[in-house]
Structure 1
């Protein structure tokens, strides 16, 4: 569904309410009441054969009786009647339906069958449906309430702004909207997608992205309906610098069960979703409070140039708390320097602090200029990216200080964020001044710093040029090869790695005992011997590995023992030979590189500490394919074991650059294979000392089926 195809849905010139009721307090009566109360400018057509009119508006027995075009039908009838109603809408050429009814996939198989039948009929006839199980939608820009959500009954109308909100849950979505309105946040659209029979949260996000007035999009999701579509939406959001904020539930096992019973969505892997969010610049939040806090700070569209934070407070304790949270959230509190420090030292009392955090002390109660002059100095400081102010001042003084902050913020591009701590009675007027001026204001230090972290993360993402470049097969030196087996064992995997210019030890394969001596003639001792079998993927468990072979006799003995042990381990295993290769004598850091397939998002590349550590420490880093070099480097830097690569006591720095280059090459190779490659495991990869490269000691590829196609030569 294209984004533009939803425009008529959310801005209809005529609305039919099928199943409309004279009881304006009921689910089927409230849509009529809300449209009338908010003075909807279009045509309203209530449909119910029991009434001649509702609230003075002519009522029709059927939608087919309406004499004019209908842009949108709001339907509040039972699930069992929906197919016949939909057929009438199709006959009337109504292509937009907002479905309030419940009793579909969320109740089980019987409801699922009705939902599937309705969805098929709608799709076959080009009809778009939001719902079922929706409480409605709101076009805030044109003040068009389409539904029965409590928030749509607001007596004083809706605050218009730049935030679009879409939610699978109607109760939660409109609760967020109501609470955000109290914080003086304005919206363009609020949409509840319900069961998502047709239109999904991501479809709606796509529509909102292309709306000029919508510059921030927030979403509540219980599952990801289309992983690839979400990635494309996130990429487009970066192009437009429109923040995406997502609250996704279904993380715990209990939560996943609740999701299934609520909207029949399937919650995906939380780990994978978080990887996607981080890689493509989606801000993820834990609850609705955090969602609103993030809306406040990003809806200003004042981006930070970096992560250097200066905090100003009239409380030393608050400054210490902000410093603690800054360290936790990866923000940098650097000491003031040069003229900035000199001016602030001259401005604040001698018993204050011009370090960072800055303590202006309670003296600012008497001398307001201390606060404003300090702020004026900081906004001009090139070494300050974000300014965070914390104050407990209340009454007329607090209100006046907040007014001064708002005046400075209005003319400056540098982000200014404020914490006003205190009761509503004493400090509420100051907070109101800031909210009405659009300055992000919070009640606690923690909430402030969480919001600042999100702003810094998103700003950093916007500043980063990180377009992944897929290397061509020619650059990768890939040659076409017949790979008609589903599993590529070590010798074939290593042949591919050599084509990717990834070093592997010299090796040779003996298919029989008689070949051993001839096969190893060109290899240097000591050797390692490994079983080759598509049926034995964990060679060590099968006794299929022998180390430190010093001569030909030991090699022949190793061949016999490996074959015998492998057959004992798995009698039906087909052993095609034994791989002999030179043992690596140089020391290095053991790493691994792997490929993970996710049904929603496709292939991911994984790296971490290798060998036995992969299972013990589970220190891994994941990115979606394809990756740029910057992505690959950040993967390595994210690892707890990164310190080992940087060099520890007694060992020098490892060749991180070579490992990063290998990640990029493997990313490109896997990406151009599309969905043909199911699994790839290179473990261990020995990262030698800086400048000496890497060596892959083992490898395995699994293709998606036995008749896997040839390697892709042209992407």
Structure 2
């Protein structure tokens, strides 16, 4: 073993036993072949099979208990019925880690669930760091361990990529596609049912591997132990690693019968997206996206110090330049205008007075005027506004002397000017394997078609900007926590909710509680017109459903009439309701937003931010974060909304006070954090945001305690 890290017996084992070893055992045979191909010392492999004296040309033992010396790792290639007793024997032997491939456990019905419980108990009793069951295993290039139930590519090479997948089939595909693209891996793990070890353990291990710079992950279900996973994710980001996450099941919605609107909107996928983003992970959309983004991050390396630079694009078609401009704008990638000095060289070389220069169409200049072509390349690489250069030049089926010279020149210019280079294609055009190998050897990253390449580049740039801004630094409290009142359970009264919000510095629209039409008129006179009347009751959480809300009341008689009509209708529609009174509120106008607290079964309280009003469920335009968050993070979330332009001012309206809304969201996040498991739901809808500098006020507040 190379280190003393907790998972070293698994991923760094220098001796192992294959239990169930046989030429006819698919898993065992493939594992032995993989170990051979990767150069693992055969003398350190111990086959276990009670019916054989020799397997794979190696001395075979009837039981692991009869093997002399220490065995750090047990590769358990037996069926589900035999797995429990084998784990028990491994524990007696003092084995530290194990892998189980067999299926037929919790995923296989009630009998399988019982069997998995027995296996879990046996593994815990044995102190076994167990990967699986129901998986294909793992690969560790440094330790030359190909503990993989399928046949690994013979040209699998070591590199800076780690993988953590909940699907073995998906990881198998990514490894094979990665190998074809010349990508190198360090440790790849597919955890299966994760009865002992889970993704938090694998991420914690990879976060400390100096060889790993990019960690590609795939989740079918949410990671177990979110808190530990978040700590491991923070550690990976702090160590300068990029973590890319593809999560399936995004259309699933949490089906909970809750009172507040925000519970209906806070689907599990959105909550986990917020969690991942807060901790610095990059979310991708599909497998192609994962592979392309992994390739760029692995090849380009992170450069947060260059986050404010743009990209230079070089191609051999004017039409390509137009398309690249569109895609770059759509994906938010800066393609800056070049300096006058650079522009002058390109105009002279190409004899085009109207040339923009970025993207640069070099046409057939390489053949017509090699010297001018080289000057264009050199000036582009020397451009101070540019940190990365994307090229779409000729990639013939074989490496010709001319093409070798061209790409060697690009590599030299990259090194001389400290510029990162990626190689694009116009569409999904496969290139010859020899090119993948050669480009990698030159330090040039192949990223594929224009759209995928620019999208991956956008993610890289965004992540670099976030790191440079300190977005992923721990959130610190700037004020002491308010004293926590006794709140009880269920829907809270308006008075209790108001006091709690005020304690956290969350502003409510000016209002007075009244208990007669006369009091309502006096309150309206004091607050000013127009005003709003609301029947307040814990039994009427949504007032519009019971005609318990009247807007735009312009005078005393309107207030008096509205009071009497509302009380009459509410008593008729819900006679059992316990009415606190009628709230008279100053009617304020501005941008309507939503702030709320919901609950995720695994993540606990979540902060929901979005556009508000009566159509909140129809629009469903929300961003979700895990409390607590900073005002900067809240603002970032609000600016990610599809309808965020309303905050900038539309149709002549002034810009809204987004700073105050973000600060309010941050304060609400601390409220959620402090109440923790005691809070069920909270709904501030709408929060009316006034013009810049004038504040934001919660107009309606609903708080439900558990």
Same fold (TM over 0.5): yes
How far apart are the structure 2 equivalents of 1:56 and 1:199? 33
Note if 1:696 corresponds to 2:698.
Answer: yes
Aligned equivalent of 2:166 = 168
* Contact 2:307-2:465 at 8 Å conserved across structures: yes
Aligned to 1:5, the other structure's residue is in SS state: coil
Q: Distance in 2 between matches of 1:592 and 1:581?
A: 21
C-alpha deviation, 1:618, in angstroms: 2.9
Alignment correspondent of 1:344: 346
CA 1:683 to 1:206, structure 2 compared with 1: closer, same or farther past 3 Å? same
Matches of 1:470 and 1:514, distance apart in 2: 48
Instruction: Return the alpha-carbon distance in structure 1 between the equivalents of residues 116 and 340 of structure 2.
Output: 68
Aligned length: 683
Q: Pick closer, same or farther for the CA change 1:13–1:636 going to 2, 3 Å.
A: closer
Q: Is the 8 A contact 1:588 1:689 kept in 2?
A: yes
Contact 1:494 1:698 in 2 (8 A): no
CA contact (8 A) 1:392 1:421 kept: no
**1:514 Cα deviation from its structure 2 partner:** 9.3
| Residue 199 of structure 1, CA deviation | 1.6
State the partner residue of 2:248: 249
C-alpha separation in 2, matches of 1:3 and 1:232 = 20
User: Which residue of 679, 682, 691 maps to 2:684?
Assistant: 682
Are 1:581 and 2:581 matched, yes or no?
no
Q: Which moved more, 1:434-443 or 1:519-528?
A: 519-528
- TM superposition shift of 1:544: 1.5
By how many angstroms is 1:552 displaced?
A: 7.3
- Give the structure 2 partner of residue 67 of structure 1: 68
CA distance in 2, matches of 1:422, 1:621: 33
The answer to whether 1:280 aligns with 2:282 is: no
Give the root-mean-square deviation of aligned CA atoms. 3.1
**Distance change (3 Å), C-alpha of 1:350 and 1:290:** same
Residue 713 (structure 1) aligns with: none
What SS does the corresponding residue of 1:179 show, helix, strand or coil? Answer: helix
The CA distance in 2 between the partners of 1:513 and 1:640, in whole Å, is 43
Closer/same/farther in 2, CA of residues 343 and 553 from structure 1, 3 Å limit: closer
Mapped to 2, the partners of 1:341 and 1:437 lie a distance apart of: 28
> Which blocks of at least 5 consecutive residues in structure 1 are unaligned?
257-267, 705-715
Equivalent residue, structure 1, for 2:321: 319
Matched, 1:572 2:555: no
**C-alpha contact 1:349 1:361 (8 A) present in aligned 2:** no
Contact 1:312–1:388 (CA<8 Å) still a contact in 2? yes
User: In 2, distance between residues paired with 1:294 and 1:678?
Assistant: 38
Structure 2 unmatched runs, 5+: 256-266
Can you list the C-alpha shifts for 1:513-547, whole angstroms capped at 9, x where unaligned?
Answer: 89778888966566533222212101121121234
* Structure 1 counterpart of 2:312, from 310, 313, 318: 310
User: Residue 447 in 1 paired to residue 452 in 2?
Assistant: yes
SS in 2 for 1:321: helix
| TM-superposition CA deviations, 1:595-625 (whole Å, max 9, x none) | 2222222333222332224234333333332
1:606 aligns to what SS in structure 2?
strand
| 1:21 Cα offset (Å) | 0.9
- Asked if the contact 2:34/2:151 (under 8 Å) is kept, the reply is no
- SS in structure 1 of the partner of residue 6 of structure 2: helix
The match for 1:535 is: 539
Does the CA contact (< 8 Å) of 2:592 and 2:688 recur in 1? yes
> Does the alignment pair 1:600 with 2:602?
yes
**Cα distance, 1:166 vs structure 2:** 2.3
For 1:79, the equivalent position in structure 2 comes to: 80
**Residue of structure 1 in register with 2:464 after alignment:** 459
Q: TM-score normalised to the size of structure 1? A: 0.88
Q: How many Å separate the matches in 2 of 1:210 and 1:424?
A: 37
Note if 1:146 corresponds to 2:147.
yes
1:289 matched residue in structure 2: 288
User: C-alpha distance in 2, partners of 1:443/1:528?
Assistant: 58
User: Is the counterpart of residue 503 in structure 1 residue 511 in structure 2?
Assistant: no
Please say if residues 349 and 363 of structure 1, whose CA atoms lie closer than 8 Å, have aligned partners that are also in contact: no
Q: Is the 8 A contact 1:318 1:390 kept in 2?
A: no
Counterpart Cα distance in 2 of 1:202 and 1:100: 20
Residues 527 and 581 of structure 1 are in contact (CA less than 8 Å); yes or no, is this contact kept in structure 2? yes
Partner of 2:260: none
SS of the equivalent of 2:670 reads: helix
